[in-house]
Copies of this chain bind each other. A is one copy, B any other.
Amino acid sequence: MKKAGIIGGTGYTGGELARILCTHHGIEVKAMTSRQNAGKNVSDIQTHLKGYLDMEYTESINGSDLDIIFVATPHGAAMKEVPVLLETGVKVIDMSGDYRLRDVSVYKKWYGHEHSDPGNLDDAVYGMPEFFRSEIKKADIVANPGCYATATILATAPLLISKAVKNDIIVDAKSGTSGAGMVPSPRTHHPFCGESIIPYSVGTHRHTPEMEFVLDAVSKSSPKILFTPHLLPIVRGILSTCYMTFDLEMTDEDVERIYRDQYGKEPFVRFVDEPSVRSVVCSNHCQIGAKAFGEKVVVFGAIDNLVKGASGQAVQCANLMLGLKETSGLEVPGMGV
């Protein structure tokens, strides 16, 4: 049984890691930190875990006792923790944006401050098994992908890789509110968002350079993305609607073949006729669908933002890093209804 720790175990990402791992047969949560709840029982805070994870939150965590640590702290805080943890020899998966971009100047431009750990940034592997499986297996530090980035990269990469489309992509994405985290804010205040759809960070969202960097890494196509996120009045789920332009017109069958070739053996990515948020919610699955219209093609990617878009994907990476079966702890279908 591999031993895991979670730094930042009060938030949604940390809580979801605990929810997934508490039924995992190969990884056991041995420590969870929380500044505000240190000393309290985890299941008094995360009451749905009662009977599944009866342990206390601690102030800090000792890397040398553990096989892997998930760092679920905010952007900026993670890069303070990670180098210290890596020193102890433990493997680390960072859930924040701190290790997702390779270029420190791009990091500074989008995150607004210097990167304090450029050395480990160089070594970090982007934790998307569909494209970096072999690197993840060998990595000590994995940067877990952003939620929007996951849905969008999975939806667009195959066409970019196949050189079927131009590099100009429009991404109109819609996310449930849990993506905003557990801290109340005006935007996630129910009377404001509960019966509306709210575009935000139009063209300025930090997942933009992440998508561009990773898509370029896998396709060498220098993609340029115009990204418009919208907040939906649902709790979980992302639908990323992606618009691309063919270089040569293709039929729906041509497109489908490209996706089936790319993902046919993937355990968690499926090409379907009608991708549905509800079919993947509460699971690590991603559903993709596409329709061609003349020189344009629309591709949809649907995930649960907290599972494939965060903690499920991190567990998938942890399985690979620890030599476990990749799908361990994640073999559950979506809710459907």
- Chain B residues with CB under 8 A of A144: none
When chains A and B are docked, how far (Å) is the Cα of A188 from the Cα of B183?
11
> Given the known A-B contacts A178-B191, A293-B226, are A23 and B332 also in contact in the complex, defined by CB atoms under 8 Å?
yes
The smallest beta-carbon distance between A204 and chain B, in angstroms, is: 9
**Would B191 and A191 count as touching, CB distance under 8 A?**
no
When chains A and B are docked, how far (Å) is the Cα of A144 from the Cα of B312?
33
**Would B235 and A276 count as touching, CB distance under 8 A?**
no
- Give the number of times this chain occurs in the complex, counting copies: 4
Interface string of A56-90 (1 = CB under 8 A from B): 00000000000000000000000000000000000
**Would A241 and B230 count as touching, CB distance under 8 A?**
yes
**A interface list, Cβ under 8 A from B:** 12, 15-16, 19, 22-23, 46-52, 170, 172, 174, 176-178, 180, 182, 184-186, 188-199, 202-203, 226, 228, 230, 232-237, 239, 241, 243, 267, 270, 272, 274, 276-283, 285, 287, 291, 293, 296, 298, 300, 306, 331-337
- Chain B residues with CB under 8 A of A16: 336-337
When chains A and B are docked, how far (Å) is the Cα of A267 from the Cα of B267?
32
**Would B235 and A194 count as touching, CB distance under 8 A?**
yes
> Given the known A-B contacts A48-B283, A194-B234, are A337 and B276 also in contact in the complex, defined by CB atoms under 8 Å?
no
Q: Contact check: which of B48, B202, B276 meets A279 at CB < 8 Å?
A: B48
